[in-house]
Amino acid sequence: MQVNIKKAGKSKGFSAFTAALLAVLLGLVFGYIIMTIASPANSFLGFQKLLMGGFKRIGDVFYYATPILMTGLAVGFAFKMGLFNIGASGQYTMGMFFALYVGFMWKLPDSVHWLVCVLAGMIGGMFWGLIPGIFKALLNVNEVITSIMFNYIGMYLVDMLIQGNATMYISSKTRTSYLPASAQMPSLGITNSSVNISIFIAITAALILFVVLNKTTFGYELKATGFNKYASAYAGMNGKRNIILTMAIAGAMAGLGGAFAILAPSTIAGSSMTYEPVSVIAANGFNGIAVALLGNSSPIGIIFSALFVSHIQRGGTLASLYGYKPEIIDVVIAVIIYFSAFAMLMNAMVGNLIKKLFSKNQSEKILPADPKEEA
């Protein structure tokens, strides 16, 4: 048995998967500790709701997973090339704005209106990812700095543009008006849930990125650059073009996320999702970082980690039934997500720990048979 575990442990995919599971487990343990500190009496039931609640709201789990799946891809894909795309929030917001703009301002046939909105969102995000990419490639400006700046520039710009547009903005309600039905994504028809076909588009996007990374020459170049930029230059790869392309694709993913979020159908007829221009950076962008870390930057891993994060968030809202304040729930969720992501980052350390524990076990097994006493 032990031998089997050991062999399996050596395959790469398996070890990434076990590491992720372990990370999640550690995150949950810490989450539970926080809940116990906050309210010892209810911690068990509350935690149970947190863990299981999501299963009662599968539709919503998928619905809320969609945007963070996209921002997760935006971060993870760039990370494969060694770029830290912290600007997913800005790209997300830009994508959302482009989608909103087309939704309100363009009159198109019903059948294609939402599709064009989605494409516009993708282009918006791509544009906002492209700029840090160009700065990095041509001027060697660190992408972290540019993309943080572009988070703010994007957010304020979008807020300004929306507030200045009478068709899009209802100032008395400080939010955007309702989108026409033709601009909303087709629902999957689950009652009381906004889940819509965007989850399928998101999963398809992840699968496409998986293929790009693992089966194409572009993916080969991208990963080679991420692993060793000197060797990729030595091999004649066009680093500048690849940086720009990668950031554009990453931005497009985040932009799609923003479009999916705002174009989702409302559960109440005659309304829609709305955006409040209140100068806050989109949290979904940052959640994307955690999703990408937990998914080990692999597109397939990111599908699962997005679902997990969404699941915990749904469960968390239910846990408030047991008297937990929403803030505490937020803390617990954040602890679980970020601790898991952090533990994933410490992948190597966790792996070594297991190996060490394991090798101790094994040597103990061998020792009795060892002719040690002879000396």
208: contact with another protein by CB under 8 A? no
Alpha helices in 140-197 (DSSP H): 143-163
Torsion angle of the four alpha carbons 355, 348, 71, 88, in this order, in degrees rounded to the nearest 10: 170
Q: Which of 45, 233, 280, 321 binds another protein (CB under 8 A)?
A: 233
Backbone angles phi, psi at 176, to 5 degrees: -75, 155
Contact 337, 312 (CB under 8 A): yes
Contact 311, 61 (CB under 8 A): yes
Judged by CB under 8 A, the stretch of 70-78, 142-150, 227-235, 253-261 that binds another protein is 227-235
Judged by CB under 8 A, the stretch of 21-29, 124-132, 228-236, 254-262 that binds another protein is 228-236
Q: Which of 5, 45, 208, 231 binds another protein (CB under 8 A)?
A: 231
Nearer to another protein, 9 or 180 (CB): 9
Cα–Cα distance measured from residue 24 to residue 151, given in angstroms and rounded to the nearest whole number: 29
Query: Interface mask (CB under 8 A) for another protein, residues 340-359, using x and -?
Result: ----------------x--x
230: contact with another protein by CB under 8 A? yes
8: contact with another protein by CB under 8 A? no
Q: Which of 216, 357, 361, 365 binds another protein (CB under 8 A)?
A: 216
End-to-end CA distance of the chain: 33
215: contact with another protein by CB under 8 A? yes
224: contact with another protein by CB under 8 A? yes
Cα–Cα distances in Å, from 3 out to 14, 189, 250, 358, 363?
A: 15, 49, 41, 11, 13
Site for another protein in 87-126 (CB under 8 A): none
238: contact with another protein by CB under 8 A? yes
**Least distance in angstroms from the C-beta of 368 to another protein:** 14
Cα–Cα distance measured from residue 352 to residue 365, given in angstroms and rounded to the nearest whole number: 20
Closest CA to 252 of 218, 208, 188: 208
Judged by CB under 8 A, the stretch of 116-124, 233-241, 242-250, 338-346 that binds another protein is 233-241
Per DSSP, the three-state class of 323 is coil
3: contact with another protein by CB under 8 A? no
> Would you tell me how many other CB atoms lie within 10 Å of the CB of residue 64?
27
Judged by CB under 8 A, the stretch of 70-78, 177-185, 265-273, 362-370 that binds another protein is 362-370
Cα–Cα distance measured from residue 191 to residue 205, given in angstroms and rounded to the nearest whole number: 26
Q: Which residues bind another protein (CB under 8 A)?
A: 10, 215-218, 220, 223-224, 227-228, 230-238, 356, 359, 363, 366, 370, 372, 375
